[in-house]
Structure 1
Amino acid sequence: MGWALALHGGGGGIPLDYPPEQLQPRVDSLRHCLQIGIEALKDGMPALDLVELVVRELENNPHFNAGKGSVLNCNGDDEMEASIMDGNTKNCGAVSGLKTVVNAISLARLVMEKTPHIYLAFDGAEAFAREQGVETVDSSYFVNAQNIERLKQAKEANRTQVHYTQLDYTQPTPKDLKSEKWIPNGDSKGTVGCVAVDKQGNLASATSTGGLVNKMVGRIGDTPIIGAGTYANHLCAVSATGTGEAIIRGTVARDVAALMEFKGLSLNDAADYAVESFPKNTAGLVAVSATGEVAMPFNTLGMFRACATEDGYSEVAIWPSTMN
């Protein structure tokens, strides 16, 4: 048994010719957050604290679709959401519809620890944030020129968008990415998440997002739904990314745990099976097991991801290993 962690910055139709000036900051950020996680686990930080720490760092980074980098809904507002789960106790907390909270993941943890509930949303969640004294800012903090341009593009195309928007569900080839089949959504960004197992074998998962560009006001995705975008128990911890509606229907995070618990599958086999059951280009996840295994499957073209284990293995990647 040993510690392990994995994190993601979203999955989708990430083109192989992704502009270097947009690609490199994301890769550097993943590597930075991975190193923070490695050092914290080496120092004995509990898994629950670790996943909150790493996701906070990702939320504070404008290059991902969470916190500072959250995309805008159809009214031009941010509506952030997050959830966190402790695998040892199955305690969990979730929030949605946040407009002023700097770190949604920390408010989700406060919901878990300071209320009798699991999920708070919109005005109720904002009021709870003020009551708890968490850091809040004017909503203009989350609005920038890039996000305004993303919203403009989405409105012109009359669609909600995340990453690169695909017009069908066939797996793309590098040639496809230069055809009209793929419509770039500006400087694409993704949901963030982190999973970890600590030195004591305790597991935890955390996920945070700004949702979809041009989504309807009030839409809630998979990120704050326990069992869909986030799940942890005594066997594994899972954080998902992709098309929220598909992930909710398929309860992908819980499926990984169920396949391990009831079918006796390994983490890698369970994670692969769960993702393969989804339509192409809709889902990806990162997961760790109680024994320190790591899985990071996806059926999209790419997924910003990173992992490390106590035995010294580490990886930062975007596309399948044959393309990286």
Structure 2
Amino acid sequence: MGGWAIAVHGGAGVDPNLPQERQEEAKKLLARCLDLGISALRSNLPAIDVVELVVRDLETDPLFNSGRGSALTENGTVEMEASIMDGPKRRCGAVSGLTTVKNPISLARLVMEKSPHSYLAFSGAEEFARQQGVETVDNGYFITEENLGMLKLAKEANSILFDYRIPAVGLESCSVGPPDDNLLAMNGLPISLYAPETVGCVVVDSQGRCAAATSTGGLMNKMTGRIGDSPLIGAGTYACDLCGVSCTGEGEAIIRGTLARDVAAVMEYKGLSLQEAVDFVVNERLDDGRAGLIAVSRDGEVACRFNTNAMFRGFATEDGFTEVGIWD
């Protein structure tokens, strides 16, 4: 074993004209989360505790698209989803359709540890939250003025927005119409803008135990009831005795490629290293999709790969390596 390692992300795909101020805010938040995780790892907290702790912090800060600050549905509400996985025995928990739970990642862990199931959604998940006594808030807590403005622009543009914080000037020509070379497609429908900001964390602790956690509010102006890759074990999140993986990007493409599980599979069946596995999966399993992922191995390695223009990300290892970045 090579010691502990941690990686965090705040989404793959970034507006090329993202203001410098927001870039610095994002890097500061990622660095803060790394410091939180490093401190926990140095205190010998197990990996599963560390990923929950870090993602809770990301959910509480409205900068990225999870918890407070989540993207809004077509009805102007928030429906959040999250998943968590503990590598040693591949235990997992996931939730979707949350409207009042302050920290979805913690409810996902309770599903893993306190229920006979792996996945609860919508009213069932909300009822389970009440039974477990987790902190709940009014749906309005998650809604920011910025997101209300972006939803209005999305509706005027008749489009789903991936980067719902992109400047309004970028929306002037957005519409769902005949595809062209400048548009991405989701299940055959052209999408004008792309840059989701799902959050995630992967950790291997000093005992070689891997864990992964992912949380998101989904897509701005998404259909009510839409479920993405983030709560789907094997798609957006996966951890086993070999590695931990958290994905972000075009959810439908990540689901089709079972991206997170595939990293572990090619390590196990093809004998690839962590970085080789991450590179292979992003290059070969996304078809025309756009996404990114972070990963750690039981040997204390960290890896990242994305085929978007950028990815909010940060890494740290026990041997002193630390990096926070956005662009390629």
TM superposition score normalised by structure 1 = 0.91
Report the AA paired with residue 11 of structure 1.
A
Distance 2:253 2:309 in 1: 17
Return the offset for 1:13. Answer: 3.7
Which residue of the partner structure matches residue 302 of structure 2? 294
Which residue of the partner structure matches residue 273 of structure 2? 266
Choose the corresponding residue for 2:204, options 169, 194, 197: 197
Answer yes or no: is 1:147 the counterpart of 2:154.
no
Return the offset for 1:169. Answer: 6.9
Answer yes or no: is 1:11 the counterpart of 2:12.
yes
Distance 1:23 1:157 in 2: 26
Which residue of the partner structure matches residue 30 of structure 1? 30
SS of equivalent residue, structure 2 residue 245: strand
Choose the corresponding residue for 1:223, options 211, 214, 230: 230
Answer yes or no: is 1:240 the counterpart of 2:241.
no
Which residue of the partner structure matches residue 187 of structure 2? none
Which residue of the partner structure matches residue 92 of structure 2? 92
Distance 1:6 1:218 in 2: 30
% identical equivalent positions? 60
Answer yes or no: is 1:317 the counterpart of 2:325.
yes
Return the offset for 1:244. Answer: 0.5
Which residue of the partner structure matches residue 129 of structure 2? 129
TM superposition score normalised by structure 2 = 0.90
SS of equivalent residue, structure 2 residue 68: helix
Report the AA paired with residue 10 of structure 1.
G
SS of equivalent residue, structure 1 residue 26: helix
Distance 2:100 2:292 in 1: 28
Which residue of the partner structure matches residue 283 of structure 2? 276
Which residue of the partner structure matches residue 175 of structure 1? none
The alignment covers a number of residue pairs equal to 309
- 1:204-219 aligned at under 5 Å gives the runs 204-219=211-226
Distance 2:213 2:98 in 1: 17
Does structure 2 conserve the Cα–Cα contact (< 8 Å) formed by 1:4 and 1:198? yes
Distance 1:273 1:168, change over 3 A: farther
Superposed CA RMSD: 2.1
Report the AA paired with residue 290 of structure 1.
R
Structure 2: which 5+ runs fail to align? 185-190
SS of equivalent residue, structure 2 residue 311: strand
Distance 1:232 1:203, change over 3 A: same
Moved more, 162-171 or 266-275: 162-171
Does structure 1 conserve the Cα–Cα contact (< 8 Å) formed by 2:247 and 2:259? yes
Deviation string 1:91-137 (CA, Å, 9 cap, x unpaired) is 00000000000000000000000011000000000011011010000
